[in-house]
C-alpha cells in the first residue's frame, strides 16, 4: 500500500510540474508572437540607454526572464551590436528627440565603453540632446556620462575620481596550506599568469607592465574626458591625486556635473524641452523595443555581405559553451562563412584573454585558410591577448581600440602535484605499474623527475617558438623584433599600434569598412551579418529552459563564495599548455 501511495504521489507531482512548465512555455510563445508586432513610437520619444548591466558583443534574448520561470537561464543581456545599431538609427529618426543615459556603473570593459562613447559623440552631431542622471558614478560610468549635455548627480550621491587600479589574486599560500605543488613552465619575462601560483605578490616585471598598461588606458580616459568637459588633463590628474572630488558639491564645483538634483527635477526640465504637459509621462523607449519599431537603416545588396564572426570568452577545445570559444565550433562556423559566396569579406571580432594553446592554433589555421580566399580583418574588443592575439595575427589587418588589452605573446604549462594533499589531508595514496619508466607521465600523483620536467619545458619552448614565428610572419617583422615585444608582455591598443602589433585604432565599424574596402565593395552596396546567427526567439526560449544552469545554480547556492568556486573550475581548465594573459586582470 505504501509503495502504491509513492507511485500516486510521484505521478501527481509529475503532472503538476508538466502543467506548470506547459503554462510558462505557452505564455512565452504568446509573448513571442506579441513581441513580433511592430512597436509604435511617440513623436516625442526619448531613447533610454541603460548601461548598468552586463554588455556582451551580441545580446541574449530570453523570453522567459520576465516571467521569473525557474531554470530558464540567464536574464536578457544587452548586446554592443544592438546598442550601436540603435544609436545610429536614433540619430536619423525624427521621432527620437534625445537620449537619457543610465550609466552609474556599467558592467563592461573599457574598449566596449569606448565603442559606445564614440557612437554617442557621433549621435551629438544630430543636435539632439543627451542627458544623464545618477545617484553615483563609477569612473567607468562617468566616462560615458561625460559626453552628456546635462549631467545630473543626486545631492546625496557621489562620484568616484581616484585613478585607475589593477588588482591580482595570489594562491601560493592556499596551495602551501593544502600541500598542492603547482609545477609551472613558462617562456617570457612577463608571463605573469603563473605568478598567482608561484608568488604571493607581483614580480617587478609584472608591476612594470601593469603600471604602463593602466597608465596608457588612463591617459586615453583623461584625454577624452578633458575634451568633453573642457577640463585640462593636468587638472583631472591633480583632482584624482588629491581626492578633491569627494562629494556632489565638489563635483559641481570642478565642472564634472552640470546639476545637482533628483531624477524628477531632470524629468521636469525634459518635459519643458520636449513640450510635454507636466501631468503626462515622458515616452521612453529601451534599446530592444526601439529596434523592434525603428525603420531599418540597412541598405545594399542582400547577396553581398561582410560577415562578422564573434569570438568571445576563454579558448577551449571542442564545442565550447556559454562564455567560451570552442575551437571545433569556431572552425565549423568559419568554414561555412568561407564557402558562402555571398560573404565577400570577414571580420573576426575577438574578445578573449586566451586559453588552450592547441585550440588557438587550430583556429589560427582556419583563419589562414579563409584569408587565402577573402579578406579577413581582426577587430579587438576589450581584450584580445595571448590566444586571442594568436587568432588576430592570422588576419590581414588588426584593428583595436586605444584601451584594448592585447599582446601577451607567450606560452606556459601548468601541472598540479596533489600527492601530499591526497595523502596527508585525505589519506589517499597511489601506486601502479607501467611498461616504461615514464608511462604515466605527465602525472599529478607523483613527483616528476628532473628529466620529465625538462621535457615539459622543452614542449613549452617549442610552443613559444611556434607562436612567435607565426606572429612575426603575420606582422611582417623579424622574429627578433617580435620577440622583443613578446615574452608574455601585455600592451594597450595604443601601445600595440606604436610597436606594430596592431595596424589601426578603431572599433568594429572601422574594421567592417576596412574589410569592405579590401573586398572592393562600395559603401551602401553590401550588408553586414553577424555570426553565429542569433537563434529564433522560440528556440532561444527552449534552450534556456532546458539548458545547463550550473553556474547560475552555483551562484545562488554559494553567494559570495561562488566566484572562488568558479575560479577553481578555471584553474582546472588551465592544465596543459596555455596561451593566456595575466589571470583575471580587472582595471577599475
Residues serving a catalytic function are 191, 386
Sheet of 181-187, strand order: 181-187, 411-417, 576-580, 354-356, 314-316, 324-326
Report residue 111 as a C-alpha cell: 574598449
Q: Helix, strand, or coil here: 96?
A: strand
Shortest CA distance to 116 belongs to which of 95, 128, 136, 99?
99
Q: Helix, strand, or coil here: 135?
A: strand
* Neighbour tally for 494: CB within 10 Å: 18
* Cα separation values, 452 from 28, 131, 183, 471, 577, Å: 57, 63, 12, 29, 15
Q: Transcribe 431-466 into DSSP letters.
A: ----SSTTTT-S-SSSPPPHHHHHHHHHHHHHHHHH
Task: Compute and round to an integer the Cα radius of gyration of the chain.
Answer: 26
Alpha helices (H) in 230-356, listed in sequence order:
233-242, 248-253, 263-274, 287-293, 327-339
DSSP 424: I
Q: Helix, strand, or coil here: 390?
A: helix
Give just the sign of the alpha carbon dihedral 486, 488, 489, 493: positive
**Secondary structure element (H or E) that encloses residue 499, with its range:** helix 493-499
Cβ neighbourhood burial of 580 (10 Å; 0-12, 13-18, 19+): buried
**Secondary structure element (H or E) that encloses residue 31, with its range:** helix 2-35
Amino acid at each position: 500500500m505504501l509503495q502504491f501511495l509513492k507511485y500516486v504521489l510521484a505521478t501527481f507531482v509529475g503532472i503538476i510540474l508538466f502543467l506548470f512548465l506547459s503554462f510558462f512555455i505557452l505564455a512565452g510563445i504568446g509573448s513571442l508572437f506579441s513581441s513580433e508586432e511592430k512597436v509604435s513610437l511617440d513623436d516625442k520619444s526619448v531613447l533610454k540607454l541603460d548601461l548598468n548591466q552586463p554588455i556582451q558583443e551580441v545580446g541574449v534574448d530570453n523570453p522567459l526572464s520576465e516571467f521569473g520561470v525557474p531554470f530558464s537561464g540567464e536574464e536578457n543581456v544587452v548586446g554592443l551590436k544592438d546598442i550601436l545599431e540603435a544609436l545610429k538609427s536614433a540619430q536619423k529618426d525624427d521621432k527620437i528627440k534625445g537620449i537619457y543615459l543610465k550609466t552609474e556603473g556599467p558592467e563592461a570593459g573599457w574598449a566596449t565603453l569606448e565603442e559606445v562613447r564614440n557612437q554617442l559623440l557621433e549621435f551629438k552631431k544630430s543636435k539632439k540632446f543627451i542627458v544623464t542622471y545618477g545617484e553615483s558614478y563609477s569612473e567607468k560610468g562617468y566616462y560615458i556620462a561625460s559626453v552628456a549635455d546635462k549631467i545630473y548627480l543626486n545631492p546625496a550621491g557621489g562620484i568616484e575620481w581616484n585613478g585607475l587600479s589593477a588588482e591580482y589574486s595570489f594562491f601560493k599560500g592556499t596551495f602551501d596550506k593544502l600541500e598542492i605543488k603547482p609545477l609551472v613552465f613558462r617562456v617570457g619575462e612577463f608571463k605573469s599568469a603563473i605568478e598567482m601560483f608561484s608568488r604571493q605578490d607581483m614580480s617587478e616585471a609584472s608591476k612594470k607592465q601593469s603600471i604602463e598598461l593602466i597608465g596608457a588606458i588612463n591617459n586615453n580616459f583623461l584625454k577624452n574626458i578633458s575634451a568633453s568637459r573642457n577640463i585640462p588633463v593636468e587638472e583631472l590628474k591633480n583632482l584624482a591625486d588629491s581626492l578633491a572630488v569627494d562629494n556632489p558639491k565638489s563635483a559641481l564645483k570642478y565642472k564634472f556635473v552640470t546639476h545637482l538634483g533628483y531624477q524628477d527635477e531632470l524629468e521636469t526640465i525634459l518635459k519643458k524641452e520636449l513640450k510635454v504637459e507636466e501631468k503626462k509621462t515622458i515616452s521612453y523607449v529601451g534599446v530592444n523595443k526601439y529596434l523592434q519599431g525603428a525603420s531599418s537603416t540597412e541598405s545594399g545588396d542582400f547577396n553581398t555581405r561582410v560577415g562578422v564572426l564573434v569570438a568571445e570568452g576563454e579558448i577551449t577545445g571542442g564545442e565550447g559553451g556559454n562564455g567560451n570559444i570552442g575551437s571545433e565550433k569556431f572552425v565549423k562556423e568559419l568554414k561555412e562563412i568561407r564557402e558562402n559566396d555571398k560573404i565577400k569579406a570577414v571580420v573576426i571580432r575577438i574578445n578573449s584573454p586566451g586559453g588552450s594553446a592547441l585550440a588557438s592554433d587550430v583556429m589560427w589555421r582556419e583563419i589562414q585558410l579563409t584569408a587565402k580566399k577573402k579578406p579577413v580583418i581582426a577587430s579587438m574588443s576589450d581584450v584580445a591577448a595571448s590566444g586571442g592575439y594568436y587568432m588576430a595575427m592570422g588576419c590581414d589587418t588588426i584593428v583595436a581600440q586605444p584601451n584594448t588589452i592585447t599582446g601577451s605573446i607567450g606560452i606556459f604549462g601548468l601541472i598540479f602535484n596533489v600527492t601530499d594533499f591526497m595523502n596527508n589531508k585525505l589519506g589517499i595514496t597511489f601506486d601502479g605499474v607501467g611498461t616504461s619508466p615514464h608511462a604515466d607521465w605527465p602525472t599529478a600523483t607523483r613527483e616528476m623527475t628532473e628529466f620529465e620536467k625538462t621535457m615539459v619545458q622543452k614542449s613549452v619552448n617549442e610552443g613559444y617558438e611556434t607562436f612567435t614565428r607565426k606572429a612575426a610572419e603575420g606582422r611582417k617583422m623579424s622574429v627578433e623584433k617580435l620577440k622583443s615585444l613578446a615574452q608574455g608582455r601585455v600592451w594597450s591598443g595604443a601601445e600595440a599600434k606604436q610597436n606594430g602589433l596592431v595596424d589601426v585604432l578603431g572599433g568594429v565599424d572601422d574594421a567592417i569598412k576596412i574589410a569592405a574596402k579590401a573586398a572592393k565593395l562600395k559603401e551602401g552596396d553590401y550588408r553586414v551579418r553577424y555570426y553565429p546567427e542569433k537563434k529564433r526567439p522560440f528556440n532561444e526560449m527552449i534552450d534556456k529552459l532546458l539548458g545547463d544552469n550550473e553556474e547560475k545554480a552555483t551562484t545562488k547556492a554559494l553567494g559570495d563564495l561562488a566566484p572562488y568556486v568558479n575560479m577553481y573550475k578555471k584553474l582546472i581548465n588551465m592544465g596543459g599548455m596555455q596561451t593566456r594573459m595575466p589571470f583575471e586582470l580587472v582595471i577599475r
